[in-house]
């Protein structure tokens, strides 16, 4: 009996030791291959035949922002980080259908500028569909793109997320003079950091023209997707870096539009979309006092911009309106820009867990 027990303990010990060695080896490999972008680096640019050399003052222009959820968070999906069960949709065709429909919406709206978040370039979770390439082909606009999630293997949960190359993109009809990735501070330490997102701002610059002549000023476009699953301090730190950057550009005489997924509620939140599931994920809270003098938020709450992905959106709670919604997507505009309108395009979360937001603006 003692020999049997001793043999069992020995086998168990070997298995435990082997698992520990494998875990340490995985951490070592992920550390070696960790994505370590510079503070500022060039973004990838996809050329297209743009229709204008620069953006004109006194001209109404449309800009759209949309977190497309890598084509993997449509109405039939839930997500483990929100309390759901799934890591990715059941098959590639589902992701392709979501992606195709997202592209159709972007093409139909046909905004002059598009800010898109959670665009996969090559990822296990989206069956390696190159979404940046597909959207660029559909829009036929100048495109800039940079990664905010670049990991050779994300080991969580089970089955694991696996390889991810994903990021944020800006598509525009206008000539781009530069496109850069500006790193945002990460709230995560090693080893959690090594397989996590590395948040950033994608900064694209367009020349401003009057009477077909360049004024020497720029429209600075800033697309971002701020921290989601932190204790709140990461969002605050990233928001401060964002706002400081906006102010510095305005001091140079430039026009600035920043937009994307704030993962925070806006100051004018009136409780229209209350906390329904208090034990689930909740966004942070923005305050008007963080903005430089004259800057403003451009937000609409006529429809929610985001839904909880704790359950598929085919659940009976949708019909009873007992669902967790938020307004966390929108824009910040500088004082020299007039916002004519901003509205949520309610797509009923058919193909993504966010709704697109469309703003019409004019450079003063």
Rounded to the nearest angstrom, the gap between the alpha carbon of residue 322 and the centroid of all alpha carbons in its chain is 26
Tokens matching residue 265: 């509620």
Residue 69: left (phi > 0), alpha (psi -120 to 50), or beta? left
pTM above 0.85, yes or no: yes
pLDDT of residue 63: 98
- For residue range 147-168, list pLDDT tens digits in order: 999 999 999 998 999 999 999 9
Percent helix, percent strand, percent coil in the chain, to nearest 5 = 25, 35, 40
- The percentage of residues in the chain with a pLDDT greater than 90, rounded to a whole number, is 87
Provide the domain count of the chain: 2
Are residue 180 and residue 247 in the same domain, yes or no?
A: yes
The closest of 235, 80, 91, 243 to 156, measured between CA atoms, is 80
Are residue 27 and residue 125 in the same domain, yes or no?
A: no
Residue 150 sits in a domain whose CATH number is 3.60.10.10
Are residue 155 and residue 12 in the same domain, yes or no?
A: no
Pairing of strands 255-261, 329-333: antiparallel
Question: Which domain range does residue 195 map to?
Answer: 38-363
Are residue 291 and residue 312 in the same domain, yes or no?
A: yes
Does residue 268 or residue 94 have the better pLDDT? 94
Are residue 4 and residue 130 in the same domain, yes or no?
A: no
Are residue 132 and residue 218 in the same domain, yes or no?
A: yes
Are residue 15 and residue 82 in the same domain, yes or no?
A: no
For residue 181, the cross-strand partners are: 41, 202
Beta strands in the chain (DSSP E): 40-42, 44-46, 55-56, 61-67, 113-123, 142-154, 162-172, 178-183, 200-210, 213-225, 255-261, 264-265, 284-285, 296-298, 306-307, 325-326, 329-333, 337-344, 357-363
Are residue 19 and residue 92 in the same domain, yes or no?
A: no
- Quickly count: other Cβ atoms within 10 Å of residue 297's Cβ: 18
The closest of 35, 39, 36, 34 to 203, measured between CA atoms, is 39
Are residue 87 and residue 18 in the same domain, yes or no?
A: no
pLDDT of residue 316: 82
Are residue 163 and residue 80 in the same domain, yes or no?
A: yes
- For residue range 122-155, list pLDDT tens digits in order: 999 999 999 999 999 999 999 999 999 999 999 9
């Amino acid at each position: 009996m003692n020999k049997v027990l001793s043999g069992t303990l020995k086998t168990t010990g070997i298995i435990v030791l082997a698992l520990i060695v494998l875990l340490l080896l995985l951490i070592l490999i992920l550390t070696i291959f960790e994505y370590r972008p510079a503070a500022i680096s060039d973004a990838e640019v996809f050329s297209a035949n743009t229709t204008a050399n620069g953006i004109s003052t006194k001209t109404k222009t449309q800009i759209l922002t949309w977190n497309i959820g890598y084509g993997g968070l449509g109405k039939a999906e839930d997500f483990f980080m929100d309390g759901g069960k799934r890591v990715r949709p059941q098959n590639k065709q589902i992701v392709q259908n979501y992606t195709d429909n997202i592209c159709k919406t972007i093409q139909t709206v046909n905004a002059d500028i598009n800010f898109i978040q959670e665009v996969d370039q090559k990822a296990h979770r989206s069956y390696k569909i190159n979404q940046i390439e597909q959207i660029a082909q559909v829009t036929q606009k100048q495109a800039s793109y940079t990664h905010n999630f670049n990991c050779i293997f994300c080991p969580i949960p089970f089955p694991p997320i696996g390889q991810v190359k994903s990021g944020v993109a800006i598509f525009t009809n206008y000539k781009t003079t530069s496109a850069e990735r500006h790193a945002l501070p990460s709230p995560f330490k090693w080893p959690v950091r090594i397989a996590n997102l590395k948040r950033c701002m994608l900064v694209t610059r367009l020349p401003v023209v009057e009477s077909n002549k360049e004024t020497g000023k720029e429209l600075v476009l800033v697309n971002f997707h701020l921290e989601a699953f932190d204790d709140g301090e990461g969002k605050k730190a990233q928001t401060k870096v964002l706002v400081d950057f906006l102010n510095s550009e305005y001091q140079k005489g430039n026009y600035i539009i920043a937009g994307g997924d704030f993962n925070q509620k806006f100051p004018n939140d009136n409780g229209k979309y209350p906390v329904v599931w208090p034990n689930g994920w909740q966004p942070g809270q923005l305050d008007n006092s963080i903005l430089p003098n004259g800057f403003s938020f451009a937000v609409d709450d006529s429809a929610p911009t985001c839904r909880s992905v704790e359950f598929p959106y085919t659940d009976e709670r949708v019909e009873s309106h007992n669902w967790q919604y938020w307004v966390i997507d929108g824009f910040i505009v500088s004082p020299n820009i007039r916002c004519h309108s901003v509205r949520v395009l309610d797509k009923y979360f058919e193909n993504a867990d966010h709704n697109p937001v469309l703003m019409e603006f004019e450079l003063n």
